[in-house]
Amino acid sequence: MIKSSILGYPRIGTDREWKRALEAFWSGKIEESEFHSQLQVIRLNHLRKQQEKGISFIPVNDFSYYDHVLDTAAMFGIIPKRFSYKGGAVPLSVYYAIARGTKDAAASEMTKWFNTNYHYIVPEMDGASPVLTENKPLIAYREAKEKLGIEGKPVILGPLTFLKLSKGYSPSETDAWLDRLIPLYVQILQELSNEGVPWVQIDEPILVTKLSLDDVQRLKTIYETFAASVPGINIMLQTYFESVEHYNDIVSLPVKGIGLDFVHGFSGNISSIRAQGFPKDKVLGAGIIDGRGIWKSQLREKIALLKELVKIVSPECLVVQSSCSLLHVPVTVKQETKLASELKDALAFADEKLDELVLLVNAITRDGAGIVGELEKNDRAIEALKQSDERNRSDIQHAVAAISDQPLERNRPFSERHIVQQKKWQLPIFPTTTIGSFPQSAEVRKARQQWRNAEWNNEQYADFIREQIDIWIKLQEETGLDVLVHGEFERTDMVEFFGEKLAGFAFTQNGWVQSYGSRCVKPPIIFGDVAFTREMTVEETKYAQSRTECPVKGMLTGPITIMNWSFVREDIPREQIAYQLAYALRQEVEALERAGIGMIQVDEPAVREGLPLKEDEQAKYLSWAIKAFRMATCTVKDTTQIHTHMCYCEFHDMIHSIEAMDADVISIETSRSHGELIHSFELNTYKLGIGLGVYDIHSPRIPLVEEMTSMIERALRVLDPKLFWINPDCGLKTRGFEETVDSLRNMVEATRIVRKKYAAII
């Protein structure tokens, strides 16, 4: 009989109770015992929900106290020496210090989980001696069985993926590290087998990326060792986010099941299975429900796919599941009471995806009996949205098509623009600035809520925002920053703020997803054609500029980031969505320039995360991503300085594309991985203005002047001092008042020291 499963469930809870528990513990409002109790309640509720809906294989150990990659490192005692770990089960104090840093120890690097907006903590292997500190999957399995009678499916991050996502070792040490890790995995699996665990899900998403032949051989060694050492346990080798590379080698591995993504990896995986079949002695985990998207599945298409798969795989060897963990989608649509019915009816969040899985299993098992009404309802919901006016705006479609055919270039090259901009702005060597946002205090959040609840009128709220701008303009001047920002106090989120002012967007009340740690975001929904409706940032930016003689940057979020950090429609290519956004943002850029704003920052921190995992698709994506940025920014005057901001990426494989965006100044988030990025500049030349983040804003610690001075001087070994800017590595929205001011003062002092040193050279 066909079974159902998911690969993981959202951690945060229906009302973000997980987030609140973490932050209460961090702030000392609850004790550790109470913290554990609260998280257990949340965790069991998630399992109970799946149990009640009838999911066959319920994942356990998918829950985390912060991040699943960090969990794996902690389970193996892979703890950086600076955190003074003494062995045994990793204390929460050490666990959270790795993630968040302390006064005396910098946090570990944080980066994107493949091509998603989820961030994981990068394990540091250097100097580590791995040992099994505790069997977390076994603990999770026992809890589910004892508390709820659930025969759970423990989830483990696989050894090849774990090692590939880690740092602190050379490629030549890969096999030696696997030799250390494999016995620990074997120990975990043996203890699970002794407990009677029937199935274990081992996640190896690295298998959808380009693998070397050596990696394929390593994969064989790993799973042959598991099969020989623990023959009694069923392993579901799980992949997701794309189609697998080396299909024949992977399906030949000695595991009981193979999980494939038939949503984002549909083309490659279905081609492989059609051409080469699937082993008769293995279970196919068919990921046909989108774990990353929010739209209802077209159920008739999914049923047709399942019927095709049943001809290749016997029903008892088929598990219908999500394409990846549901970590990447909100919890439930039920709480959304304000969405238009034609939009709400077309949505499926995590809980609704559980229902879809059960329905699909019933459709195949019972040959469609009893679900005709559900299929017709599904058809109507999808067709109603397709035919809506919002998805069929010919004015926008024609305008974007016309602009796409025009040259998208600035009037003069950067080398000439730089001269006229320097003449206009008269900035000192190593100009200092920030990325844009300043702390969103409780007072700011309360004021916004009062305004949204109509307790304050528009003028009261505008007065409050102006007061905040005044405070922070003065603080920036006193601190000694050269280029100022207005602080973005009127903005809830760098994407949501713009979406609320553009046509084609919708917003949920509780559509939260985890970004990193307790940081949750509520992505907008791009459901229709995007259109500029009114000026979005001019009023606040113009006011801020009127309060100072220093230049104030206009702050916009770029088209690719708005798209990648939103849930987007699926009926047109993402390229077309990007161009619609770019056309709307161009009109805002031009409005800022008309208002006298001569520096405009168009942030694109999410360009890298949208990069396709398949190398042969990357050039096309980068081409239209660059085109969208230039479409938004190319019409300004030569003296108008265009800035952008990006989060850390492997710069060497993006440098030419970033240069092609033709921004006058780029700032890059690098503080947790400064050395790696500097190495990229040793291999590549960058000829435009650039600022490397000199301190980590994700950590509550205040960086020392000496630390930042060292970072600046290292960067100047490979970057042109005449084009170098100094800034934090990201916005300061989440930081406290005192730490923000003290950190910026230290940054300016570090700048003064370096300026003095280089004054005679330049």
The reply, when asked if residue 246 is annotated as ligand binding, is no
The answer to whether residues 592 and 538 touch, using CB atoms and an 8 Å cutoff, is yes
The answer to whether residues 565 and 495 touch, using CB atoms and an 8 Å cutoff, is yes
pLDDT of 221: 98
Above 80 in pLDDT, residue 682? no
SS3 assignment, position 287: strand
> Count H helices, E strands: the chain?
27, 21
Task: Just give the CATH number of 415-758.
Answer: 3.20.20.210
Give domain limits for the chain.
Answer: 55-386, 415-758
The reply, when asked if residue 730 is annotated as ligand binding, is yes
The reply, when asked if residue 519 is annotated as ligand binding, is yes
Paired sense of beta strands 153-157 and 199-203, if any: parallel
The answer to whether residues 70 and 60 touch, using CB atoms and an 8 Å cutoff, is no
The answer to whether residues 220 and 191 touch, using CB atoms and an 8 Å cutoff, is no
Give residue 407's pLDDT band: very low, low, confident or very high (50, 70, 90). confident
Above 60 in pLDDT, residue 640? yes
The reply, when asked if residue 271 is annotated as ligand binding, is no
Tokens of 536: 């979005």
Global pTM value = 0.91
Please state which of the four CATH numbers 3.40.640.10, 3.30.70.20, 3.40.30.10, 3.20.20.210 is assigned to the domain occupying 55-386.
Answer: 3.20.20.210
Residue 4 Ramachandran class (φ > 0 left, ψ -120 to 50 alpha, else beta)? beta
pLDDT digits (tens, 9 = 90+) for 370-387: 788 999 999 999 999 999
What are the φ/ψ torsions at residue 525 (nearest 5 degrees)?
-110, 120
The reply, when asked if residue 647 is annotated as ligand binding, is yes
Give the C-alpha separation, 286 to 306, whole Å.
Answer: 8
The answer to whether residues 528 and 570 touch, using CB atoms and an 8 Å cutoff, is no
The reply, when asked if residue 248 is annotated as ligand binding, is no
The reply, when asked if residue 17 is annotated as ligand binding, is yes
The reply, when asked if residue 435 is annotated as ligand binding, is yes
Are 55-386 and 415-758 equal in CATH topology?
yes
Among 252, 89, 59, 82, CA closest to 168: 82
pLDDT digits (tens, 9 = 90+) for 119-142: 999 999 998 999 999 999 999 999
> For 12-21, 148-157, 223-232, 725-734, which range has the lowest pLDDT when averaged over its residues?
725-734
Among 722, 721, 724, 720, CA closest to 693: 724
What are the φ/ψ torsions at residue 178 (nearest 5 degrees)?
-65, -35
Give residue 439's pLDDT band: very low, low, confident or very high (50, 70, 90). confident
The reply, when asked if residue 274 is annotated as ligand binding, is no
Give the C-alpha separation, 140 to 68, whole Å.
Answer: 13
CA distances from 128 to 107, 181, 193, 726 (A): 17, 11, 28, 34
Residue 505 Ramachandran class (φ > 0 left, ψ -120 to 50 alpha, else beta)? beta
pLDDT of 367: 67
Give residue 608's pLDDT band: very low, low, confident or very high (50, 70, 90). confident
> For 28-32, 104-108, 246-250, which range has the lowest pLDDT when averaged over its residues?
104-108
The answer to whether residues 250 and 207 touch, using CB atoms and an 8 Å cutoff, is yes
Tokens of 275: 């051409």
User: Listing from the earlier edge strand, what are the strands of the sheet with 153-157?
Assistant: 3-5, 318-322, 283-289, 257-261, 234-238, 199-203, 153-157, 59-60
Which DSSP helix (H) or strand (E) runs through 199?
strand 199-203
Active site residues: 698
pLDDT of 673: 58
Tokens of 577: 């969505």
Tokens of 526: 């791009």
